Structure 1
């Protein structure tokens, strides 16, 4: 039912194997709704991304954290996001969109506290961030929450046929999207430079392509980028309000008998494969390949 695919993830569970020092995979393993596997390909000199799966009889959680500017934020999410989800789910009596929003908010606040405490010794942490893709299966309900441009895609069998179709379950927060640019312009009507096309892409404040993330404090709180300590990292960035958001888009869906599998991946996969191409690979090779082969 579930396959998690992540680009250059920095930590793997026991049993993960490496193909050539730059590629990692795990074979199929059981979870409450079926089986899962994970894979990664290291594309950068330093691994900035993380992924994880938590499986129990009650629920399954999937996390893909595509870091940028360093690995601090993605590693933080790997250690702290699931505990926040589990704590709020226990407090609220089960999984819900509100539980997920509270968990994302708590993770953002906690990371901001870490940046504040480390500011004098490690000011560069203010420029570290991560996209965050979370999947949660509780009973027959699937929750998918996203910040940034990672993606979750469901493979669904067409009723009465031997064909699978792809269903995208995430909204991507990337300034390359006209819809995202309109959203940013509406939120910042007095800032003509909120989105700038530079270095071959649309970027928020001419710097970053994603419009939502965990971290990236220098684009959310002006006191950091305006501080003299930040001058060794980049120029001051005057802000009247946060340029980036940590409010996730959340999709909720009841799982149905014709829902076959899920693919969770950072943008590194989707830059090379369409939703349909990835779904067809898994659909046509349900047991002969792992997520590594995608």
Structure 2
């Protein structure tokens, strides 16, 4: 071994350029190690993720908005499609007269018509109803702060919206208003399409507008809306999107407080409601409504609501389709007071919650915020060849950090999921939309 080393040294001495090259290589690796060991992790993240194109893809759809608000100081948002085109939507609005900020996440299925319609009409419909309930004489002043169709969709753009909360709104009235207004919204566009169907059955030609209305009603969407006003949060849930509070407890630990329940076969109350509404029928087959629809409450999905005679000639009805409607858009509305230890709100489509638990999501967001203040330093040797992990990446936007985590939390895993063939992408992940709201 010693003789081999001596021969190697002699060889290097005979070739000074080899010695210089070895010294340069050593300096490079030492420099990389020092950089990765002592540089804040989010700076490393940009370089590491960029090397495989991951960070640019995840960052493309992220945004952060600041608000001048009694309770909400800012929100982060991000989304990632799996379906082509993406069927998820989101919309954020604010009303000075109501003193409220409104957040909606919409998860479409069978197409984009229904989710697109809800994005452009739901908050306006709710806001108008709330103004009437509160006997606000001023006109509806809802402002759309951001939605998925913002053009251009500006990365990390900042906006300040000042709200002045007003009195005169009863909590029970707000709950009732949300429940009634969203049910009426579904009735309005489903009934409009039904009138078109009746005309078509009488021989009327199908116009482009009629086709648009029918497609909106036949396709479907789940949607969840959170209204934050003063110290109150009202959540109206139709389907299996979800809202969770991140609450900091003693000892700097975190608790996930769900403000909604998924309305599917795992929800015993929903199973009972559906079975009671259709006694003697087999309405739940393989954990789905009539063996097809997974959520038990949805907007649209008129093929689970209209009488069979209106579906004949339009589409094949489902097995055991005897006593519609089988699904409803009427939301379950919950209310809670914001506590001093509540730090943030996570609103997500089911593409998020299929891959992460409430507790895990809260801990990821909490850790992201903590590490903005205290960047971790990596060991000298462990930094040389290690790839970025989910505690090191994308932490300027908590929605992006959470998205990174649910996709695997490392360069390799996230890259693999992002580069799946679009034709089979839906087999591996759903559309994912995330809003993180900070109190």
Q: Scaled by the length of structure 2, what TM-score is found?
A: 0.57
- Once the two structures are overlaid, the 10-residue window that deviates more, 245-254 or 87-96, is 87-96
User: What secondary structure sits across from 1:131 in the alignment?
Assistant: strand
Counterpart for residue 41 of structure 2:
none
Matched, 1:205 2:205: no
Q: Compute the displacement of 1:257 (Å).
A: 0.9
Counterpart for residue 120 of structure 2:
79
Larger Rg computed on CA atoms: 2
Q: Deviations over 1:235-294 (max 9, x none)?
A: 686331310011111110111111110000011001111101110111111254311121
Matched, 1:276 2:383: no
Whichever structure has more helix as a proportion of its residues is: 2
Counterpart for residue 5 of structure 1:
none
Label 1:293 to 1:51 Cα distance change in 2 as closer, same or farther (>3 A): same
Q: Compute the displacement of 1:109 (Å).
A: 1.7
State whether residues 174 and 180 of structure 1, in contact with CA within 8 Å, keep that contact through their aligned partners in structure 2: yes
State whether residues 152 and 264 of structure 1, in contact with CA within 8 Å, keep that contact through their aligned partners in structure 2: yes
State whether residues 148 and 211 of structure 1, in contact with CA within 8 Å, keep that contact through their aligned partners in structure 2: yes
Q: Within 5 Å, give how 1:152-231 maps onto structure 2.
A: 152-158=243-249, 160-192=250-282, 194-197=283-286, 202-223=287-308, 226-231=311-316
State whether residues 204 and 211 of structure 1, in contact with CA within 8 Å, keep that contact through their aligned partners in structure 2: yes
Q: Compute the displacement of 1:179 (Å).
A: 4.0
State whether residues 59 and 400 of structure 2, in contact with CA within 8 Å, keep that contact through their aligned partners in structure 1: no
- Once the two structures are overlaid, the 10-residue window that deviates more, 100-109 or 173-182, is 173-182
Q: d(CA) in 2 for partners of 1:253 and 1:272?
A: 26
Q: d(CA) in 2 for partners of 1:217 and 1:44?
A: 22
Q: d(CA) in 1 for partners of 2:66 and 2:120?
A: 21
Number of equivalences? 269
Counterpart for residue 136 of structure 1:
227
Q: Compute the displacement of 1:230 (Å).
A: 2.2
One of 146, 149, 155 as aligned partner of 2:237 = 146
One of 96, 99, 112 as aligned partner of 2:177 = 99
Name structure 2 gaps, 5 residues minimum: 1-54, 135-168, 201-205, 373-394, 403-439
State whether residues 65 and 74 of structure 1, in contact with CA within 8 Å, keep that contact through their aligned partners in structure 2: yes
What is the root-mean-square deviation of aligned Cα atoms in Å?
2.3
Q: d(CA) in 2 for partners of 1:267 and 1:203?
A: 16
Whichever structure has more strand as a proportion of its residues is: 1
Name structure 1 gaps, 5 residues minimum: 1-17
State whether residues 152 and 265 of structure 1, in contact with CA within 8 Å, keep that contact through their aligned partners in structure 2: yes
Label 1:79 to 1:91 Cα distance change in 2 as closer, same or farther (>3 A): same
Q: Scaled by the length of structure 1, what TM-score is found?
A: 0.84
User: What secondary structure sits across from 2:102 in the alignment?
Assistant: strand
Label 1:177 to 1:97 Cα distance change in 2 as closer, same or farther (>3 A): closer
